[in-house]
Structure formats: structure tokens, C-alpha cells
């Protein structure tokens, strides 16, 4: 097994140079999320099967620029596309890919992901303020894509074109999955975003039962370590509590779905336990999240035991202290309050409007609860600059307190390293991480797995990772064929049946037993008009075939059997019938028999026709033959030597690598300095002559 990172171009070159290994080559190419966070999309191909993991957009860009590098691949070759969860950076380019490209494979995601995907993308289309030509897709495209998306439940094994795959709980958000793909025994695990920590409503990511050969893993948090969840939750509630007790307002910019539900659970519970806070309103400004509540209420089986137990009593997502907020116009900003608003990066929308309004007051606080993407305002204010640019272009002093308390359910270094230690994959590919973090993680993992010969690779976008898996093709011999195990040196003959990537060897008689295929016999019967005596046929056949017999039992009409294959029956005075079971040899025999019968029909003497023809006619014919022969000779020489010209005196001039040979078309004399060429031309001419001229009758 070898692996290495090469560019796409040289990957193609290698393919040409090593065609024999092509089948065993596994290629993984990140089309997005290679050394970056956003637009997750990883391409994988092995043994002519192609899988695409995720299909996201980059939240910091808009229009075509936000897409993964789809140009690098041919969408029509992709067999399956697996989407891990509903976040925009993992699913939002799906309608584009399904509707605007040549993709014709199948798409899979979990039930919850599909339900939220539709709501989320409709919202994304509405909210994103780009010009019409920059729009990647519209509402109609999303609806159409819904019909093409198939659902898969956790642990359910699905097989498509010989690719087997199933998914595990990933813990990141509701419905998030890690996909395990098995192609011809080589297993690849794609984690998507995952978290190994159980929280208020989600289960921790599972550790797969089988170790994969390749693990494509996210590296969002690199080598950072999360504080324990309890401490984070306490910091979060304490910050909020202290801010509002001082009369300040708290802004929580959060993405509408996923972690926001977790934060709401925390806040609602905290408020229930602190009656003194009941007069402080909590607003949740997301109609989208409200619409998604039904999904959260339904797919409780994808959540943890805690929620399932609460569900028995009452719906935990029916918040008692949190009220929805439609828009900033409906917001009565009079006293302390807590507002959770999207988007999480403060790019635009309600969270930005509130930020602009509140950022100058030092009593106020902004709590950033999740991973902040490079290039957004949220990333800028983390470093607490003195001034910020408002949405109207003016600058304002940044006085409000900014806290960064991460609740984004991504694995930290401790989780990543224990996860990998449990799995022990021989190859690790890092994606979905900012370049620096990823490099640090890679270094640390290399030291950790130093003695295990583990390969750790972090390809950039469009950079292909190639690996070779020497596949041991195993076959199972079954049925009659397997009645005794062959000794070394004995032969095995039978049908090799391949289905997907499994091979079976069986006797042809067993084919219908072990597969849906069946064997068939084709009996052919042909009637040939024949008026001559039947004995003539037998006589002629006897001269060609060794075994021409009449059947033992008396038939109603005269019958002969040739080589136990073809039965010839003299049906009537004017008809002979042939019957045989189709196979290459019988077909050939029967063909010759038919030709023979037809020839007898045309009267034997025709064979010596040329002899009785008159001379005049004969001469003309000879001339014609001669002209034809010359033409054919010339054409054959051209095809043999390439550069052939007709020189003076009807001589043919053959030029090969500078050597010139002159060939006399009449008698076959060759003039040439190069002995080798001379010989070759002479031989060629002799052979051509013998082929194009009729065999002289006098010779026989």
C-alpha cells in the first residue's frame, strides 16, 4: 500500500503509467473543507465506484464563489452522495448539485436532516441578499431536490452498485451522522462534524464496531481542549446573570438550528431554577427555529435517553420562559433582556442590527456560543478591537463585553485523539479545519501515532490523496463444483459469477440455484430447399466430417447425424431440415452443412466453370484480375511500410527510415542497399502475390 499527495494533473499521469494498478487505486480529494472550514465536500473513488461526502457552501462567500470546486470532478460519474447533517456548510450546495449539474446518482441523509434541510435552505434562499444571477438555486430547486433525497436510518445498511454504507450517531446536531462506506472490503469512515460529549439533548458520537482503513476526520478545534461542559454552562449562565443584574442586555448570536436548541434548553432550565429572573425576558428571534420545533419533537429517537425520558412527561422543547421575536420592529427594548438571534457570524440580519445598537454600551454583553468562521464580524470582535464598523459603514467604539464560550459540538483534541486511538485507522485524512489548527493537530497526531505506522495527511482543496489497496480477491466455490476441495495442481472449471464485489465459482448447472440467472438452451431448426437425392448429401458430408451416422432407431424420414451435433432430416422431396442446439461449434458445423447443401443444389459442374468459358472472355477477366491485384498489392504495401510511391516503369518505391527500396511489380525483384529491408519487402511482396492471385488451376 502506498500513498502520497500529488496534484490532480500528475494523478492523471500516474494513472496512465500504471494501468494495472488503476483498479486498486483509491483517490480522496477534498473539493472543499481542505485546510479550511466551510463548504465541506470530499470526493472519493475506488474501483470505479465514486462517493461524494457532503455538499456545503462557504458561509463567508456568496454566489458561485461559495461552492466547492465541483469543476474538478465529473458529477455524472458519482454513484452516491452522502450528507452528514443539515448545516449550510455541509448541505447547502445540494440543490445546486442535484439540479444544475449532470449528477444522476443517489443522495442519502437521515430523516431529521432531511426534514430540517428543507426548512433551512428555504430560509437561506430568502435571507441571502444576492442578485438574481448570483442565486445558486431557488425554492423550486429545493423542492425538486427533496424528491431525489432518500433517507437512511442510523445503522441501517444500504447497498448501491456494490457500495455498502451505513451511518453512526455523530452527536453534533440532531440527525448528524458519520458515514462508513465499504467498497470491496475497503472501509472509509467520514466523520462529518462530530462530538464525543453527550449534552442536554444529543447522544455522543458512537465508536464504530469495525476499524476503517481510512478515517476522514474533522479538525475544527485542532489541538484545543474544551472546558468540561458543566463549567462552560456555568460560565454562560453566570455571564448572563451578572450582565442582566447590572441592567445590561445580552446578545447571543447563534445559528438558528442545532446548537441554539441546546442553549435554549440551558436558559429555560436556568430560568426555571431562578425565580428572581422571571421578569427578565428571553427572546428567541427565529421563525425558522419555531418551524423546526415539530422536527425536534418528532425525532426524539435520535436524541439521548435524558430527552426521551423527559418526553414521557412533557415536551422539553416547549419552552416556558422563552418567547419568540419576529423582527427588530416588534422588539420593545426597554430594560435588561436576553436575545438570541441569527446569524451566528453577525454578518447581517437581526443579530447584526442588535449588535450595532448595543455595542457602544459597556453594560451590555455579547456571548459568542459557537465556532466563529474566518472572515465574519464575530471573528473580528473576539479579539476585542477598540472600534468596529457598523452595517451602515460608520465606525463605533466597541464597549460591550464580548465573551466566547464555545458550545459548538465539535470534538476537541482529547476527543479526537481518544476516538482515533480506539479506531486505530491506518490512514487519517484531516479536513474541515483552519490551516494552522490543522497543521498543529497533524503534528500532534504524528507524535502520538509515531510507532503505529499511521499515515496522517491534510490535503488542500483539490489536492488528491492516492492510496493503493492490494486487494485479495476471494471467491467461494459452491454447489456441485465444491463437492471436493481441489488438490494442488488439479484444475477447476466453472462459472465465475461476480455480484457487487463478491465472487462465486459454480458449475453451470447450479447457476439457477445460487443466483437469479438461469441457463438456457437454444435449439435452432432451419429448412433448406433441396431436390436432389439424400444420399448425395451423406456422401459429401462423409468427405468432410469424420462422424456421419444414421440414427440407431428407425426414424420416419431418412436422417443423418453429424458429430452428434447436427441432425439432418429429409423432410420431403423438396426440403431438408437441420436441427441443432446452439453453441459455437455446432453453429459452425451447421453453417457448413447448409452451404454444402446449397452448393449441391447449384449443380456440381459449376466448380469447373472457368475451363468451359471462352478465351475472349477469359482474357478480359485476366486483365481485370491483374488490375485488381496491383491495386491490392499497392494498398497492402502502404499499410505495411507507410511511404510507398509508384515510381518509373511501374516500379514501386518503398521508403523506410531513409532507406529506399525499388520493387518491380511484375517479377518481384527488389533493389535496395539495406539487406534487411530488401528481404522484408521481397517476402511481403511474395506473400501478397500468393494471396491476391487466383490459385492456378493447372497446379492441381
DSSP letter (8 states) at residue 443:
H
172 assigned to active site: no
Distance (Å) of CA 325 to CA 264, 279, 686? 14, 17, 98
- Give the range of 80-88, 189-197, 419-427, 492-500 binding another protein by CB under 8 A: 492-500
* CB contact at 8 A, 505 and 496: yes
Pick the closer one to another protein by CB: 479 or 532.
Answer: 479
Q: Show the beta-strand stretches assigned E in 233-345.
A: 249-253, 282-285, 322-324, 337-341
* Cell of residue 280, nine digits: 427578565
Per the document, the length of the chain is 700
Chain residues 254-273 in contact with another protein, contact rule CB under 8 A: 266, 269, 273
* CB contact at 8 A, 541 and 596: yes
Pick the closer one to another protein by CB: 110 or 342.
Answer: 110
CB of 116 to another protein, least distance (A): 9
Binds another protein (CB under 8 A): choice among 242, 531, 547, 599: 242
Pick the closer one to another protein by CB: 24 or 356.
Answer: 24
Pick the closer one to another protein by CB: 518 or 615.
Answer: 518
3-state secondary structure of 254: coil
Nearest 5°: CA angle at 250, between 248 and 255?
Answer: 170
Pick the closer one to another protein by CB: 70 or 86.
Answer: 86
- Give the range of 337-345, 353-361, 480-488, 625-633 binding another protein by CB under 8 A: 480-488
The site map against another protein for 514-543 (x = CB under 8 A) is xxxxxxxxx---------------------
Tell me: does residue 299 bind another protein (CB under 8 A): yes
The Cα 532–Cα 600 span in angstroms is 8
Tell me: does residue 311 bind another protein (CB under 8 A): yes
Q: Is 451 exposed, middle or buried (0-12, 13-18, 19+ CB in 10 A)?
A: exposed
3-state secondary structure of 365: strand
- Give the range of 99-107, 133-141, 428-436, 481-489 binding another protein by CB under 8 A: 481-489
The Cα 236–Cα 370 span in angstroms is 12
Chain residues 140-169 in contact with another protein, contact rule CB under 8 A: 146, 151, 153-158, 166
Place of cell 470526493: 43
CB of 153 to another protein, least distance (A): 5
CB of 476 to another protein, least distance (A): 6
Q: Cα 75 to the chain's mean position, in Å?
A: 9
Binds another protein (CB under 8 A): choice among 180, 263, 402, 497: 497
Binds another protein (CB under 8 A): choice among 9, 132, 312, 334: 312
The Cα 377–Cα 246 span in angstroms is 26
The Cα 482–Cα 472 span in angstroms is 20
CB of 524 to another protein, least distance (A): 11
- Give the range of 304-312, 326-334, 452-460, 542-550 binding another protein by CB under 8 A: 304-312
Tell me: does residue 275 bind another protein (CB under 8 A): no
Tell me: does residue 513 bind another protein (CB under 8 A): yes
- Give the range of 223-231, 321-329, 411-419, 596-604 binding another protein by CB under 8 A: 223-231
Q: Return the half-sphere exposure (C-beta side, CA atoms, 13 A cut-off) of residue 247.
A: 3
- Which H or E run includes 182? strand 177-183
Tell me: does residue 472 bind another protein (CB under 8 A): yes
* CB contact at 8 A, 57 and 67: yes
Q: Which residues pair with 395 in a beta bridge?
A: 389
**End-to-end Cα distance, the chain:** 66
Pick the closer one to another protein by CB: 270 or 358.
Answer: 270
Pick the closer one to another protein by CB: 217 or 481.
Answer: 481
CB of 337 to another protein, least distance (A): 18
Pick the closer one to another protein by CB: 476 or 620.
Answer: 476
Q: Cα 637 to the chain's mean position, in Å?
A: 49
* CB contact at 8 A, 177 and 170: yes
Tell me: does residue 494 bind another protein (CB under 8 A): yes
CB of 590 to another protein, least distance (A): 14
CB of 211 to another protein, least distance (A): 14
CB of 288 to another protein, least distance (A): 12
Pick the closer one to another protein by CB: 17 or 516.
Answer: 516
Given 58, 87, 201, 410, which residue is catalytic? 410
Q: Which residues pair with 559 in a beta bridge?
A: 569
CB of 280 to another protein, least distance (A): 14
Give the β-pairing of 41-46 and 49-53. Answer: antiparallel
* CB contact at 8 A, 28 and 49: no
Chain residues 42-71 in contact with another protein, contact rule CB under 8 A: none
3-state secondary structure of 409: coil
Tell me: does residue 496 bind another protein (CB under 8 A): yes
CA nearest neighbour of 476 among 456, 494, 459:
494
Pick the closer one to another protein by CB: 42 or 119.
Answer: 119
The Cα 476–Cα 502 span in angstroms is 8
Size of the site for another protein (CB under 8 A): 91
Q: What does 79-124 look like in DSSP terms, one character per residue?
A: -EEE----SHHHHTTHHHHHHHS---SEEEE-HHHHHHHHHHHHHH
* Cell of residue 297, nine digits: 419533537
The site map against another protein for 105-144 (x = CB under 8 A) is ------x--xx--xx-------------------------
Binds another protein (CB under 8 A): choice among 15, 100, 234, 540: 234
Pick the closer one to another protein by CB: 513 or 635.
Answer: 513
Place of cell 444544475: 100
CB of 642 to another protein, least distance (A): 33
- Give the range of 186-194, 421-429, 460-468, 506-514 binding another protein by CB under 8 A: 506-514
- Give the range of 354-362, 379-387, 409-417, 471-479 binding another protein by CB under 8 A: 471-479
CB of 119 to another protein, least distance (A): 8
Q: Kindly state the greatest CA–CA separation across the chain.
A: 129
Tell me: does residue 20 bind another protein (CB under 8 A): yes
The Cα 388–Cα 81 span in angstroms is 41
CA nearest neighbour of 120 among 149, 88, 146:
88
Chain residues 579-618 in contact with another protein, contact rule CB under 8 A: 582-584
Q: So which residues are the catalytic ones?
A: 410
Amino acid at each position: 500500500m502506498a500513498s502520497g499527495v500529488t496534484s490532480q494533473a500528475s494523478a492523471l499521469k500516474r494513472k496512465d503509467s500504471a494501468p494495472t494498478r488503476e483498479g486498486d487505486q483509491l483517490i480522496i480529494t477534498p473539493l472543499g473543507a481542505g485546510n479550511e472550514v466551510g463548504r465541506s465536500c470530499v470526493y472519493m473513488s475506488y474501483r470505479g465506484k465514486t462517493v461524494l461526502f457532503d455538499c456545503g457552501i462557504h458561509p463567508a462567500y456568496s454566489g458561485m464563489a461559495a461552492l466547492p470546486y465541483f469543476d474538478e470532478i465529473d458529477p455524472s460519474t458519482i454513484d452516491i452522495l452522502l450528507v452528514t447533517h443539515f448545516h449550510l456548510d455541509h448541505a447547502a450546495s445540494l440543490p445546486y448539485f442535484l439540479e444544475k449539474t449532470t449528477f444522476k446518482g443517489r443522495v442519502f441523509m437521515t430523516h431529521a436532516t432531511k426534514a430540517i434541510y428543507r426548512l433551512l435552505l428555504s430560509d437561506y434562499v430568502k435571507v441571502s441578499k444576492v442578485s438574481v444571477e448570483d442565486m445558486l438555486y431557488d425554492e423550486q430547486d429545493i423542492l425538486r431536490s427533496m424528491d431525489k433525497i432518500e433517507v437512511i436510518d442510523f445503522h441501517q445498511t444500504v447497498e448501491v452498485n456494490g457500495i455498502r454504507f451505513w451511518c453512526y450517531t455523530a452527536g453534533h446536531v440532531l440527525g448528524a451522522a458519520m458515514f462508513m462506506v465499504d467498497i470491496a472490503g475497503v472501509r472509509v469512515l467520514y466523520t462529518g462534524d462530530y462530538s464525543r460529549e453527550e449534552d442536554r439533548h444529543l447522544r455522543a458520537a458512537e465508536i464504530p464496531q469495525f476499524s476503517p482503513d481510512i478515517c476522514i476526520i474533522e479538525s475544527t478545534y485542532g489541538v484545543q481542549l474544551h472546558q468540561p461542559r458543566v463549567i462552560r454552562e456555568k460560565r454562560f449562565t453566570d455571564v448572563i446573570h451578572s450582565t442582566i443584574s447590572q441592567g445590561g442586555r445580552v446578545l447571543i448570536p447563534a445559528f438558528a438550528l442545532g446548537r441554539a436548541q441546546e442553549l435554549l434548553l440551558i436558559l429555560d432550565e436556568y430560568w426555571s431554577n431562578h425565580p428572581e429572573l422571571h421578569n427578565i425576558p428571553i427572546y428567541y428571534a427565529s421563525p425558522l427555529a419555531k418551524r423546526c420545533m415539530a422536527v425536534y419533537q418528532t425525532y426524539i429517537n435520535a436524541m439521548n435517553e435524558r430527552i426521551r425520558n423527559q418526553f414521557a412527561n412533557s415536551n422539553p422543547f416547549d419552552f416556558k420562559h422563552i418567547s419568540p421575536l419576529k423582527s427588530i420592529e416588534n422588539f420593545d427594548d426597554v430594560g435588561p433582556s436576553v436575545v438570541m438571534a441569527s446569524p451566528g457570524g453577525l454578518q447581517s440580519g437581526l443579530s447584526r442590527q442588535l449588535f450595532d445598537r448595543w455595542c457602544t454600551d459597556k453594560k451590555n454583553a455579547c456571548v459568542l456560543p459557537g465556532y466563529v468562521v474566518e472572515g465574519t464580524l464575530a471573528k473580528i470582535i473576539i479579539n476585542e478591537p477598540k472600534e468596529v464598523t457598523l452595517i451602515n459603514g460608520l465606525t463605533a467604539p466597541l464597549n460591550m463585553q464580548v465573551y466566547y464560550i464555545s458550545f459548538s459540538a465539535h470534538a476537541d483534541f482529547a476527543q479526537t485523539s481518544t476516538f482515533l486511538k480506539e479506531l486505530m485507522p491506518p490512514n487519517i485524512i484531516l479536513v474541515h479545519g483552519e490551516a494552522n489548527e490543522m497543521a498543529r493537530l497533524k503534528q500532534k497526531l504524528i507524535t502520538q501515532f509515531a510507532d503505529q505506522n499511521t499515515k496522517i495527511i491534510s490535503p488542500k482543496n483539490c489536492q488528491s490523496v492516492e492510496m493503493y489497496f492490494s486487494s485479495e480477491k476471494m471467491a467461494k466455490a459452491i454447489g456441485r463444483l465444491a463437492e471436493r476441495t481441489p488438490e494442488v495442481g488439479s484444475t477447476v472449471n466453472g462459472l465465475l459469477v461476480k455480484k457487487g464485489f463478491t465472487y462465486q465459482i459454480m458449475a453451470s448447472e447450479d447457476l439457477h440455484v445460487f443466483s437469479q440467472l438461469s441457463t438456457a438452451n437454444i435449439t435452432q431448426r432451419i429448412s433448406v430447399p433441396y431436390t436432389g437425392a439424400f444420399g448425395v448429401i451423406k456422401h459429401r458430408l462423409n468427405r468432410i466430417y469424420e462422424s456421419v451416422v444414421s440414427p440407431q432407431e428407425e426414424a420416419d424420414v431418412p436422417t443423418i447425424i453429424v458429430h452428434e451435433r447436427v441432425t439432418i432430416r429429409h423432410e420431403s422431396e423438396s426440403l431438408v431440415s437441420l436441427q441443432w442446439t446452439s453453441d459455437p461449434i455446432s453453429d459452425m458445423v451447421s453453417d457448413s452443412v447448409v452451404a454444402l447443401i446449397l452448393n449441391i443444389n447449384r449443380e456440381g459442374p459449376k466448380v469447373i466453370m472457368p475451363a468451359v468459358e471462352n478465351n475472349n472472355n477469359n482474357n478480359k477477366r485476366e486483365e481485370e484480375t491483374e488490375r485488381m491485384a496491383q491495386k491490392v498489392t499497392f494498398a497492402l504495401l502502404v499499410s505495411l511500410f507507410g511511404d510507398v510511391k509508384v515510381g518509373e516503369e511501374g516500379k514501386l518505391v518503398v521508403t523506410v527510415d531513409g532507406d529506399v527500396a525499388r520493387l518491380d511489380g511484375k517479377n518481384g525483384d527488389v533493389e535496395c542497399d539495406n539487406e534487411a529491408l530488401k528481404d522484408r519487402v521481397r517476402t511481403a511482396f511474395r506473400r501478397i502475390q500468393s494471396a491476391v492471385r487466383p490459385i492456378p488451376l493447372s497446379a492441381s
